[in-house]
């Protein structure tokens, strides 16, 4: 049986040209980038070249890009680092985020609460988008940071980041956007967006796992989370993962070259949604009325257990998910979908489909057929149970 992958929001396969860059670095550029001899400087050159490649993709200065171990670390670095910077200087003890953030942001906010920082979690409506007016109301003189994701990992819904940035800039409050699910799926210009921090992850961009980056706008005061060395201009100590970073740089270059493929990806998503809505009763698209990244759709199937449908599709050769890979196996319904007003039973009946550059129209057709058959089978079982 041939298996087809529709779970690119969880992780992506490493692109051939990225793999080639990583392997060449592992085999030839093995020096420590902090060493001053030939081997160390060769590694340093490749690391800085990758930094420039990623900076070019997001229209930043290379010095504003800090490499990390992944999106989770980048999110934590922005929230904890900024909150801890502002607190002793100005007494700011308040952070604003949303109810639909990735667990990396929500868990970091929970930690800040344990440290005595107040956290406001903005609600979203049925469309999955925050009301900027709610943000204006939530801002306080003691607000240290606002953190709102660029694109949601479960629904693909895009937040009004530029408007949020204007509001925070007027208030003099730094703004962090989790861009992990937006990079490579949307044009990202951090200067035009107006963000102060922007989190990124390599393995969502056809590069290896274990590498990420945080954009920190020049001039923003910031406290590191880790200590032990002067790497990354004193912002993130530790010997750099040069092969992984080189792969991230190659993936960033590939993303800039693949931008023309995004409209086709959006058409495949629309094709899948239309096939499901036309052929399977009791279905709907969560967040359908909002702007979304081109590769992601989240569909509910009334009367179906989402985990059972994931397994049924896997047996037919299709990889999908019920939502965030970081929450797989959770018995509670998606916090994103319940925040959008879905009742728990409908949230549990929802499936995320996330397309990638390698998916084809034929694969979409085959998935739609497998969905129709699997849903009908599961509903028959449910009736007779």
Q: Which active-site residues does the annotation give? A: 326
Residue 5 pairs in a beta bridge with: 319
| 162-195 CB burial, b ≥16 within 10 A, e <16 | eebbebbeeeebbbbbbbbbbbbbbebebeebbb
For the record, the structure tokens of 106 come out as: 């929500």
H helix count then E strand count, the chain: 14, 12
The whole-angstrom separation of Cα 36 and Cα 263 is 46
Residues 6+ apart with CB under 8 A from 132: 160, 163, 164, 167
Edge-to-edge order in the sheet of strand 350-354: 283-285, 296-301, 350-354
For residue 273, give the nearest of 264, 260, 291, 286 by alpha carbon. Answer: 286
Taking residue 234's Cβ as centre, other Cβ atoms within 10 Å add up to 10
Residue at token pair 């397994």: 311
Give 188-232 as a DSSP string.
--HHHHT-SEEEEEGGGTTS-SS-EEEEE-TT-----S--S--HH
Residues 51 and 67: beta-carbon distance below 8 Å: yes
Residue 200 has φ and ψ, to the nearest 5°, of -140, 155
């Amino acid at each position: 049986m041939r298996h087809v992958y529709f779970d690119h929001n969880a992780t992506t396969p490493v692109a051939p040209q990225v793999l080639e860059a990583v392997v060449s670095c592992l085999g030839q550029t093995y020096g420590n980038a902090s060493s001053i001899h030939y081997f160390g400087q060769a590694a340093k050159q490749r690391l800085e070249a990758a930094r420039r490649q990623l900076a070019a993709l997001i229209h930043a200065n290379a010095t504003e890009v800090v490499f990390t171990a992944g999106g989770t670390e980048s999110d934590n670095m922005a929230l904890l680092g900024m909150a801890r910077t502002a607190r002793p200087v100005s007494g700011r003890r308040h952070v604003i985020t949303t109810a639909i953030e990735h667990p990396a942001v929500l868990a970091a906010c929970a930690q800040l609460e344990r440290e005595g920082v107040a956290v406001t979690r903005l609600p979203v409506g049925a469309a999955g988008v925050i009301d900027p007016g709610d943000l204006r109301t939530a801002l306080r003189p003691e607000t240290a940071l606002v953190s709102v994701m660029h694109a949601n990992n479960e629904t693909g819904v895009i937040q009004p980041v530029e408007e949020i940035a204007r509001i925070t800039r007027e208030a003099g409050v730094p703004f962090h956007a989790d861009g992990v699910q937006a990079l490579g799926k949307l044009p990202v210009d951090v200067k035009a967006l107006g963000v102060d921090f922007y989190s990124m992850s390599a393995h969502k961009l056809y590069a290896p796992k274990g590498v990420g980056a945080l954009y920190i706008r020049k001039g923003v005061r910031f406290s590191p989370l880790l200590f032990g060395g002067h790497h990354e201009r004193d912002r993130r100590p530790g010997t750099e993962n040069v092969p992984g970073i080189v792969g991230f740089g190659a993936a960033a270059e590939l993303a800039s070259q693949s931008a023309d493929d995004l409209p086709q990806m959006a058409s495949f998503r629309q094709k899948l949604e239309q096939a499901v809505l036309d052929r399977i009763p009791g279905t709907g698209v969560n967040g359908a009325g909002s702007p979304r990244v081109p590769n992601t759709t989240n569909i509910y199937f009334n009367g179906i257990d989402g985990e059972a449908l994931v397994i049924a599709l896997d047996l037919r050769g299709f990889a999908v998910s019920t939502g965030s890979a970081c929450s797989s196996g959770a018995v509670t319904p998606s916090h994103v979908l319940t925040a959008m007003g879905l009742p728990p039973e409908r949230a549990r009946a929802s499936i995320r489909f996330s397309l990638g550059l390698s998916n084809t129209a034929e694969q979409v057709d085959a998935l739609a057929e497998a969905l129709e058959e699997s849903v009908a089978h599961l509903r028959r079982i449910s009736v007779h149970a």
